[in-house]
Amino acid sequence: MGAKQEKRDFLVSKMRKKTILITGHLGHLGRYLCQSLEEEGRYLLLGIDHDQQFSSPKQKGNLLHKSIEEMFLSNSIDSVIHLDLIHDPKEDWTKRNIYNLAGTNHLLHLCSKYKIKKFIFLSTANVYGPSPKNPQLISEIEPLLATAYSSGPDDLVKSDLLVSSFFWKSPQLEIVILRPCHIIGPLENGIVHYLSMKRPITILGFDPMIQLIHIDDLIQVFKYCLNKKIKGIFNIRGPGEISLHRFLQQLGKTPFPLPTMVAKTLMTTLWNLQLSDFPPYELPYLQYPCMVDDSLFRSKTPYTPQKGFSEIISCLDDHPLNQLKS
């Protein structure tokens, strides 16, 4: 009888939908991820987002708000996917720093306190920084030097390091830090904006190799992380590498090459006058490679990118930003 009960409990627990808290579920990537997980029907989704103007059938809140603890109290959360970082380069840097760092810290402490099983954090491969001294394919053990090579905000690097520190602060928490290359999809991130420019700026005499990943492949990565017993830091890349000029050529764009000094001066001036969306501190990414080696993730999961460059190009072609400009 006891064995039967145990077996039934085991089956019930297996059949029970996993509860996943997604922070940043109102962002482009968050919405896409929620939709994709909902379609599977195996998950019960909860959400928190810093953008509170939207109303959602799910719960809403702010990472810095104390009330989010109620969400942990009233739900038996299995996993947390943390996407809610402010990436907007035009946002006030202090606000970005406070929200991204204090918010992430608050969330991690709650996960630790309520013994959440898994915490998945979406960082970026850009934290390694672009440099001529970089290994061509950077592995997870390399230092995060983004702010050493470009003078941009350092909150993304700090957030990544903050999450890493919880590997020893909360060893029971299965932390996964994902550092994917540039994500292409129905998003409005920096790379999509750049590739949607009518004539994307390039630096004269430079043609760095780049990596791109289709959003559908990234969703697969999230699913592997949710379902597999893995923890650690993982670089994620898409179908391969391609030179920036060749990609622009395949995309049907004519680059607008500028000498380094001219590009720096022009972009800084336009940025300061709020006439450009392209932050000048990102110019080094147009000169030097910042590409990652994802062999560690591939060795732990059956992940293989399903979308090639042709799908990435058609995704960009169909993007509303491109449609608008054409």
Q: Is there binding between residue 7 and other proteins (CB under 8 A)?
A: no
Q: With b meaning 16 or more CB within 10 Å and e meaning fewer, what string describes 289-324? A: bbbbbbebbbebbebebebebebbbebbeebebbee
Among 69, 75, 78, 206, binds other proteins (CB under 8 A): 206
DSSP 182-247: EEESS---HHHHHHTSSS-EEETT---EEEEEEHHHHHHHHHHHHHS---EEEEE--S-EEEHHHH
Contacts (Cβ under 8 Å, ≥6 apart) of 193:
277, 278, 321
Q: Closer to other proteins at the Cβ: 142 or 282?
A: 142
Q: Which is nearer to other proteins, 51 or 241 (CB)?
A: 241
Asked whether the beta carbons of 100 and 85 are under 8 A apart, the reply is: yes
Which residues between 281 and 320 bind other proteins (CB under 8 A)?
Answer: 288, 291, 293
How many residues bind other proteins (CB under 8 A)? The answer is 25
78 binds other proteins per the rule CB under 8 A: no
Q: How far is the CB of 199 from other proteins (least distance, A)?
A: 19
Piece in contact with other proteins (CB under 8 A), picked from 31-39, 127-135, 192-200, 222-230: 127-135
CA 206 → CA 76, 101, 283, distances in Å?
Answer: 52, 35, 11
Minimum Å gap between C-beta 299 and other proteins is: 13
266 belongs to the binding site for other proteins (CB under 8 A): no
- Decide if residue 143 touches other proteins (CB under 8 A): no
- With respect to other proteins, which residue has the nearer C-beta, 171 or 259? 259
Establish if 241 lies at the interface with other proteins (CB under 8 A): yes
State yes or no: residue 198 binds other proteins (CB under 8 A).
no
Which of 44, 201, 209, 266 touches other proteins by CB under 8 A? 209
Among 47, 61, 103, 239, binds other proteins (CB under 8 A): 239
Going by C-beta distance under 8 Å and a sequence separation of 6 or more, which residues neighbour residue 282?
89, 150, 152, 190
Among 62, 124, 134, 196, binds other proteins (CB under 8 A): 134
Alpha carbon of 194 to those of 199, 260, 326: distances in Å?
9, 17, 15
- Closer to other proteins by Cβ: residue 7 or 246: 246
Q: DSSP characters for 22-91?
A: EETTTSHHHHHHHHHHHHHT-EEEEEE-S--SS--SS----TT-TTHHHHHHHS---EEEE------TTS
Which of 74, 243, 272, 310 contacts other proteins by CB under 8 A?
243
Output 24 or 305, the one with its CB closest to other proteins.
Answer: 305
Tokens of 49: 């987002």
Query: Closest separation between CB of residue 136 and other proteins, Å?
Result: 5
| Residue 54 near residue 23, CB atoms below 8 Å | no
Which residue in the set 14, 66, 133, 229 belongs to the binding site for other proteins (CB under 8 A)?
A: 133
Q: How do strand 182-184 and strand 241-243 relate by DSSP bridges? A: unpaired
| CB nearer other proteins, residue 137 or residue 230 | 137
Q: How far is the CB of 240 from other proteins (least distance, A)?
A: 4
Would you tell me which residues interact with other proteins (CB under 8 A)? Answer: 132-139, 203-207, 209, 239-243, 246, 259-260, 288, 291, 293
